[in-house]
Amino acid sequence: MHKGQAKKELKKQLSALFKSMDYISKNFLDSEKMGKKELQIFFNIYQQLGLAWEFLGLQCKHWDGYKKTRDKKETCKICGKVKGANDFYILLTRKGPIKLGVKVKPSSKKTFETKENAQIVNETIDFYGALVNVDVHHSYKSRLFGKGINMAAERIVNVKEENVECSIDEHLIHIRLRDKDRKAGGKRYGGFPWEIKKKDLKHFPVIFDFDEKYRFLGLTILK
């Protein structure tokens, strides 16, 4: 196959593939009503289409050059690949943020016998050096604390960047600074700001954000 024909054929295949990906994404992945099992099937189809896209993209020599995207990257006009990016065999959406998996929350009222059976997802991705973990499980009986402790159903998202760890669940946002110099097993204390003396508070480089009614809006920690 000479160059012109290869390009024409590839363009045709990619354009058909993009239509299929858009169709699945629009009609199924964004559907709120779909059951988990059914959604998983369509998600798998989307993954497989994503894989096909990656493989088709390998044949592209980016003959027509690149166009600038809104976030100032350059993507191939034919295959949509970002200029200079390595090839990964993972699902990448064509537009918008990279999407891996669909959002899951615990849905069962049942308490499962084991953590394994209660687990919905517990996966970690190393994303350009930042670690992201999502742990979603139904309620289960824990043997950790002897007999009879029911662990609540939860969705916990944990992000680790260098020595900072942030954990978010339904009730708490916990930020932990890991200090290499601190010896393991050292004591940790906690308290509301009003419980701590002003002179001690001055050790904490924390700024609170609030509005005119003193509603809490967030906080900043200086490094």
Cα–Cα distances in angstroms (integers) from residue 214 to residues 70, 191, 210, in the given order: 37, 19, 5
Cα–Cα distances in angstroms (integers) from residue 66 to residues 10, 75, 78, in the given order: 16, 5, 8
Helix (H, G, I), strand (E, B) or coil at 171: coil
At 185, list the tokens. 């097993």
CB of residue 6 to Zn ion, shortest distance in Å: 12
Is residue 120 within the footprint of Zn ion (CB under 5 A)? no
Gap between the Cα atoms of 55 and 64, Å rounded: 19
Which CB sits closer to Zn ion, 60 or 120?
A: 60
- Binds Zn ion (CB under 5 A): choice among 14, 17, 21, 78: 78
Is residue 14 within the footprint of Zn ion (CB under 5 A)? no
CB of residue 90 to Zn ion, shortest distance in Å: 18
- Binds Zn ion (CB under 5 A): choice among 14, 49, 76, 136: 76
Task: Cite the DSSP H helix spans in the chain.
Answer: 3-24, 36-59, 115-118, 198-201
CB of residue 11 to Zn ion, shortest distance in Å: 10
The phi, psi pair for 185, rounded to 5°, reads 85, 0
Is residue 79 within the footprint of Zn ion (CB under 5 A)? yes
How many residues sit close enough to Zn ion to count as binding (CB under 5 A)?
5
Is residue 17 within the footprint of Zn ion (CB under 5 A)? no
Compute the radius of gyration of the chain from its Cα atoms.
24
Is residue 10 within the footprint of Zn ion (CB under 5 A)? no
The phi, psi pair for 212, rounded to 5°, reads -65, -20
Q: Per-residue string for binding with Zn ion, 50-69, x by CB under 5 A?
A: ----------x-x-------
CB of residue 95 to Zn ion, shortest distance in Å: 16
Is residue 91 within the footprint of Zn ion (CB under 5 A)? no
Which CB sits closer to Zn ion, 62 or 99?
A: 62
Short-list 171, 168, 134, CA closest to 152: 171
CB of residue 192 to Zn ion, shortest distance in Å: 56
Residues that bind Zn ion (CB under 5 A): 60, 62, 76, 78-79
